[in-house]
């Protein structure tokens, strides 16, 4: 009786593990990855933020060029929240609310803080969600 119970338990565990291995990624994973990418971006961790781009983007646009572009920006991003998403199959559009500072052109005038919303396109490939920019920058 004891060995029968172990056999049934083993079969049940294997079936559950097999189901986990074949379960496609949930759309929420795109929103979570978008938030993770923005967290890295805001922390100045450009290597990590760059890794969230699609393999095609990374093949066409080198990390050092991406990092140089990010460091040269006149807008300082100070916060970002992945608000929601709309998904269809392996493509999700994730809406990001971004808080940013911009220095005013007049010397000594300070800066302006504002919030904007952008929509990022994410695709799922081999179980991982990747950001696909609208254009190469």
Mind listing the pLDDT tens digit for each residue in 61-88? 999 999 999 999 889 999 999 999 999 9
| 3-state class (DSSP) for residue 95 | strand
Nearest to 32 by CA among 88, 87, 114: 87
What pLDDT sits at residue 27?
52
C-beta separation of 98 from 108 below 8 A: no
CA atoms within 13 A on the CB side of 7: 4
What pLDDT sits at residue 34?
98
Segments of the chain scoring below 70 in pLDDT: 1-28, 135-137
Give this prediction's pTM.
Answer: 0.76
C-beta separation of 128 from 32 below 8 A: no
The sheet carrying 75-88 orders its strands as 75-88, 91-103, 111-125, 128-132
């Amino acid at each position: 009786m004891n060995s029968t119970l172990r056999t049934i338990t083993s079969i049940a565990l294997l079936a559950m593990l097999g189901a986990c291995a074949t379960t496609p990624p949930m759309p929420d994973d795109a929103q979570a990855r978008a938030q993770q990418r923005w967290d890295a971006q805001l922390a100045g961790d450009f290597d990590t933020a760059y890794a969230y781009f699609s393999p095609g983007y990374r093949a066409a646009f080198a990390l050092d060029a991406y990092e140089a572009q990010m460091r040269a920006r006149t807008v300082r991003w100070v916060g970002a929240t992945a608000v929601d998403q709309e998904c269809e199959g392996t493509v999700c559009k994730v809406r990001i609310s971004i808080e940013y500072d911009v220095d005013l052109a007049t010397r000594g005038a300070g800066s302006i803080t504002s919030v904007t919303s952008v929509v990022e396109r994410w695709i799922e490939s081999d179980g991982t969600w990747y950001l696909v920019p609208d254009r190469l920058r």
